[in-house]
Amino acid sequence: MFGFVGDEGHDIMHFAEFGVVMMLFLIGLELQPSLLWKLRAPILGLGGLQVVISAAIITIIVLLVTSLSWQIALAIGLSLALSSTAIVLQTLNEKGLMKSTGGQNAFSVLLFQDIAVIPILAFFPLLATYEISHVSGHETHTWIDGLSIALQTLIVLGAIVAIIVLGRYFISYAFRLIAQTRLRELFTAAALLLVISITLLMTKIGLSPALGAFLAGVVLAQNEYRHELETDIEPFKGLLLGLFFMTVGASIDFDLILGDPGLIAAIVGALIVVKFLVLIFIGYAFGMRSDNNRLFAFGLASGGEFAFVLLSYALQNGVATPDVVNPVIAAVAVSMALTPLLMLLNERLIQPYFGVKESEERKSDMIDEKNEVIIAGFGRYGSTIGRFLQAKGTQATYLDMDPNNVDLLRKLGLKVFYGDASRRDLLSAAGAKDAKLLIVAVDESEKSMEIVETAQKYFPQLKIMVRARTWDDYYDMVDHGIEDVYREFSDGALRIAADALAHIGYRRNQVYRSLLKFRARDEKYLRKLSESRHEQKAFIKHGRQIIEELELMMLEDIENEAKDKDLGWDTETIKEEFAPMIKKLKEENKGKED
């Protein structure tokens, strides 16, 4: 409006967009490949449905209320179906909602949207109906311009493979050498060089720099220096994101808005209402509760920064004209500015009256004892472990982050401390520096992983034992080098199987011996199976081999028991079977004595 930041913000918009690139790189660093695989359903399901349904409804509305062609309407629908990655994720992180179900699903949808930009850009030239317009400041020349489609595809795939291979092998080695110099500035410079190089490479091959940075972050998620990378890049990300938000505001054409405020308000209102209803519907279809579903819908209801890219690209390729594109761009900018307000509206006005009432955040307890054993998570699983240890005279420090559970356990006479065991300061206060053993028995898989990572990084002398609720949890813990991983339902299932065999006539001694062998072999095979779990064919092949080997082992046990009768001795069972005979003999002997 005042011209302080250049021509409608375009002069610094490309520089400011680098903040979004850095943010996606940092998000990628937080995502283990296994976690990304777990999110495949919401990424493809939620994300795919949201983009397709929103784009279809917006396209139909444009066709009904205007005289525009279907090509322009479709281009507008696809552009407005996307949401703001930068604003939504930053707001969720600031409010601590990123780990919630609504936050995770919002991230999945945003990730799909970022990926979807690439095929949409490729599709737009097919919608061209006007003479191509060359807009100053928006032309981008790449290395693959003028090449055949096949060659362009090979170059793009080659660049992606290069990022994955270099990130997996070379970059880890390079950062290890840099770390040995103990020059923090050099490490920071290397981190920035990495992100800038990826951004330039993606730009030069015609791909989204944000997507490339995210991919690099995922590749480096298992790098030993990922925490240092996060620390070094975080300040630059915050500065550039702030600049990005400023340029978004500066790009709003106030003359256009003031010239026809009714049109802009109608576009903004229709956009938010349509996307909100679509998101609410999809959220309920995927089983989200009302609180998380509202967070999900309010966060993604507005337009996004990629709409600027797509609409400008539509203008360049003759899909639409400036008189159509400019009002839509202005409406997107206004809707983006409303995103934090919509989330604040949900938080302050809707959540308190219609949401689930939760107690105020409680501060961690002061821990006044230190023991050799720390148990994180004192629910139905951890309390069984703790009570058994206590019965054997071993005291442990019990930590739990459910305030209601802590209060209940204290009423029962158990000394349990409230706090999040994934925090370094809490583990330190619990005596982790001097303790010998940490038992992780919390319910949430992600929280278990956070606790393990914190303990491994800051208290490496601790022996860690972890509860695993699923096979994926088990595999993830094995990947993190945890030797003592215990599947939650494994022992209970084996006990039922053993009792079942005893009830149908097998000797308990034989069954117990077989159970121990089966459990040891099963544990060994499962660790081998974890190595091939990402390749479905190899996983199925190894799984079949394991099942066959376990069956052969059990058959051999049966044959051995048949050969060696001594293996079948079970004094308790024998006593039960011969009790009537012994009683009869005693009665007969007593009669003879009389």
Per-residue three-class SS string for 87-118: HHHHHHHHCCCCCCHHHHHHHHHHHHHHHHHH
The model's confidence at residue 138, banded by pLDDT at 50, 70 and 90, is very low
Average pLDDT over residues 542-562: 62
d(CA 311, CA 115): 17
pLDDT at 59 over 90: yes
pLDDT at 421 over 50: yes
In sequence order, the β-bridge partners of residue 164 are none
The whole-angstrom distance between residue 449's C-alpha and the CA centroid of its chain comes to: 12
d(CA 184, CA 174): 14
- Kind and range of the H or E element at 396? strand 396-400
Q: What is the mean pLDDT of the chain?
A: 76
pLDDT for res 578: 47
- Who contacts 92 (Cβ-Cβ below 8 Å, separation ≥6)? 98, 103, 106, 107, 299
Average pLDDT over residues 107-125: 80
Share of the chain above pLDDT 90, in %: 9
Query: Picking from 93-107, 218-232, 277-291, which range would have the lowest pLDDT averaged per residue?
Result: 218-232
Q: SS3 breakdown of the chain: % helix, strand, coil, rounded to 5?
A: 70, 5, 25
pLDDT for res 315: 78
pLDDT for res 364: 61
pLDDT at 215 over 70: yes
Query: Picking from 12-16, 54-58, 394-398, 410-414, which range would have the lowest pLDDT averaged per residue?
Result: 12-16
| 223 against 487, higher pLDDT | 487
What residue ranges do the domains of the chain occupy? 10-354, 359-488, 502-594
pLDDT for res 360: 44
- Who contacts 116 (Cβ-Cβ below 8 Å, separation ≥6)? 47, 51, 82
| 146 against 320, higher pLDDT | 320
| 106 against 318, higher pLDDT | 106
pLDDT for res 278: 94
Alpha carbon separation from 522 to 6, 116, 471 (Å, rounded): 66, 42, 12
pLDDT at 572 over 60: no
Q: In what order do the strands lie in the sheet with 373-376?
A: 416-418, 396-400, 373-376, 437-440, 463-468, 484-487
Share of the chain above pLDDT 70, in %: 74
pLDDT for res 538: 61
| 355 against 208, higher pLDDT | 208
| 82 against 185, higher pLDDT | 82
Phi/psi of residue 562, nearest 5 degrees: -70, -35
The one-character DSSP state at 487 is E
* Tokens representing residue 195 in the block: 């992100």
Average pLDDT over residues 382-406: 81
Same topology between domain 10-354 and domain 359-488 = no
pLDDT for res 354: 63
pLDDT for res 104: 81
The model's confidence at residue 55, banded by pLDDT at 50, 70 and 90, is very high
* Tokens representing residue 338 in the block: 């409303």
The model's confidence at residue 49, banded by pLDDT at 50, 70 and 90, is very high
pLDDT at 540 over 90: no
Average pLDDT over residues 367-386: 82
SS3 of residue 467 by DSSP: strand
pLDDT at 207 over 50: yes
pLDDT at 589 over 70: no
User: What kind of fold does domain 10-354 have according to CATH?
Assistant: Na+/H+ antiporter like fold (1.20.1530)
pLDDT at 562 over 60: no
pLDDT for res 50: 92
pLDDT for res 568: 47
Class of CATH domain 359-488: alpha beta
Q: Give the tens place of pLDDT for each residue, 313-348.
A: 787 778 888 888 889 988 988 898 888 888 888 888
pLDDT at 505 over 80: no
Query: Picking from 165-174, 178-187, 265-274, 542-551, which range would have the lowest pLDDT averaged per residue?
Result: 542-551
